[in-house]
Amino acid sequence: MMIATRRELERSAAVLAGIRSVLVFDEVVQHVPAESAERAHRAAQAARVDVIVALGGGSAIGLAKILALRSERTGGLPIVAVPTTYSGSEATAVWGLVENGVKTTGFDLRVLPGTVIYDADLTLSLPRELSVSSALNALAHGVDAFWAPGANPVSALLAAEGIRMLAHALPRIAVAPGVGPHTAEAAGSDTSGSDPVLGGGGIHGALAARKDALYGAYLSASAFSSAGSGLHHTICHVLGGTFGLPHAQTHAIVLPHVVALNAPAATEAEARIAAALGSRTAVEGLLALRDSLHAPTALRDFGFQESDIARAVALVLPAVPASNPRAVTPDDLTLLLRNAWSGAAPGGR
């Protein structure tokens, strides 16, 4: 069974030419709604699917995970993941499903892809804005792993290196935007404007940056899979699952606000995040990176209403992980979400 959006199927036709699928499912929806997952599950059962190839970002791979979770096949339903974004879903045993406006997540080794194929060429046609937001989403996996319930020395090492790689790759992705599938070959010999720090010009610089971003995304996701979901992901799951906000952009906006809240109570973690970003403080590093990339800054730009804040606070508060380095009050969450809604400075009043 092949799971991919129509766009992914069209732009990756050459890659897929050698795969004979008994079923192609292209109803890939963000946050994996239960209705879409049920249709995919019924289709997979009818076709007697014995392996899934998931091509795309977190939504495609996330849908494959739900099918693996529900499979009754002896030995399970193996997943081959071919990521085309930096979601990191391919490296985790975490699944998510939205039902009746509530996002439920869980951890199950049955959903961990058994094979992952990384090909930076497949990320070249990813639009710049989505490349940036997706990579910042990956960076959030690493940051949140520092204060997640299962945080440990190994996950911290993976997280720090993942953050460092992503912080190094992101500016290079921004100055070496991807190219369409029909122009990649033509651009292959172009090294104009070559900069050794940025990894070269033309297609070479673009590929080098994306390879580093994929590696950083893998490390950060591995840390996240080991440590679990922290406060940042708790907030973003509510914003995405209940209010329908776009996944990657929501992570990019919310992350500095969560770090500003937790940093005073997690000085060692904050120092390691700052060092990985190459900055004096973690918040300064995140804001400098975000601003240099012209990344999104306000939830209101994506449909979140100021009137939604109180409901979001009520949903997030009981789900705040006990491992969070500081107690979180309704006022804390209200201020955090209001600042993230308006685009105000993290921690500002």
Give the other-Cβ count within 10 Å of 23's Cβ.
15
Residue 349 belongs to some domain of the structure: no
pLDDT of residue 178: 57
pLDDT of residue 198: 43
pLDDT of residue 347: 87
Instruction: Verify that 146 and 105 share a domain, yes or no.
Output: no
Chain-wide mean pLDDT for the chain?
90
Integer angstrom CA distances of residue 31 from 112, 205, 237: 17, 32, 9
Instruction: Verify that 138 and 71 share a domain, yes or no.
Output: no
Give the other-Cβ count within 10 Å of 86's Cβ.
35
Grade residue 176 by pLDDT with cuts at 50, 70 and 90.
low
Residue 348 belongs to some domain of the structure: no
Structurally, how many domains does the chain consist of?
A: 2
Cα 129 vs. chain centroid, distance in angstroms? 14
Residue 10 belongs to some domain of the structure: yes
Please give the residue range of the domain that contains residue 311. 126-342
Give the other-Cβ count within 10 Å of 322's Cβ.
6
Instruction: Verify that 167 and 298 share a domain, yes or no.
Output: yes
Instruction: Verify that 282 and 137 share a domain, yes or no.
Output: yes
Instruction: Verify that 49 and 141 share a domain, yes or no.
Output: no
Backbone dihedral region of 279: left (phi > 0), alpha (psi from -120 to 50 degrees) or beta?
beta
Query: Which tops the pLDDT comparison, 176 or 139?
Result: 139
Instruction: Verify that 221 and 290 share a domain, yes or no.
Output: yes
Q: What is the pLDDT of residues 24-56, one digit of tens each?
A: 999 999 889 999 999 999 999 999 999 999 999
Instruction: Verify that 113 and 130 share a domain, yes or no.
Output: no
Give the end of a domain, one of 117, 149, 181. Answer: 117
CATH number of residue 140's parent domain:
1.20.1090.10
Grade residue 102 by pLDDT with cuts at 50, 70 and 90.
confident
Q: What is the pLDDT of residues 53-66, one digit of tens each?
A: 999 999 999 999 99
Q: Which residues pair with 3 in a beta bridge?
A: 25, 54
Integer angstrom CA distances of residue 20 from 51, 92, 96: 12, 27, 28
CATH number of residue 40's parent domain:
3.40.50.1970
pLDDT of residue 204: 66
Collapse the DSSP code of 280 into the 3-class scheme (helix H, G, I; strand E, B; otherwise coil) and give the result. coil
DSSP 147: S
Q: What is the rounded distance in angstroms from the CA atom of residue 122 to the CA atom of residue 107? A: 28
Residue 291 belongs to some domain of the structure: yes
Q: What is the rounded distance in angstroms from the CA atom of residue 130 to the CA atom of residue 97? A: 22
Q: Which residues pair with 310 in a beta bridge?
A: none
Instruction: Verify that 68 and 187 share a domain, yes or no.
Output: no
Instruction: Verify that 72 and 181 share a domain, yes or no.
Output: no
pLDDT score of 112 more than 90: yes
Asked which of 158-167, 204-213, 253-262 is least confident by mean pLDDT, the reply is 204-213
Residue 267 belongs to some domain of the structure: yes
Instruction: Verify that 208 and 306 share a domain, yes or no.
Output: yes
Instruction: Verify that 187 and 144 share a domain, yes or no.
Output: yes
Instruction: Verify that 18 and 139 share a domain, yes or no.
Output: no
Residue 347 belongs to some domain of the structure: no
Q: What is the rounded distance in angstroms from the CA atom of residue 220 to the CA atom of residue 140? A: 8
Give the end of a domain, one of 66, 91, 117. Answer: 117
Angle between helices 58-70 and 34-47 (to 10 degrees): 60
Give the end of a domain, one of 99, 117, 135. Answer: 117
DSSP 300: G
Q: What is the pLDDT of residues 192-232, one digit of tens each?
A: 444 434 444 455 678 999 999 999 999 999 999 999 999 99
Grade residue 144 by pLDDT with cuts at 50, 70 and 90.
very high
Grade residue 183 by pLDDT with cuts at 50, 70 and 90.
very low
Q: What is the rounded distance in angstroms from the CA atom of residue 231 to the CA atom of residue 81? A: 27
pLDDT score of 86 more than 70: yes
pLDDT score of 294 more than 70: yes
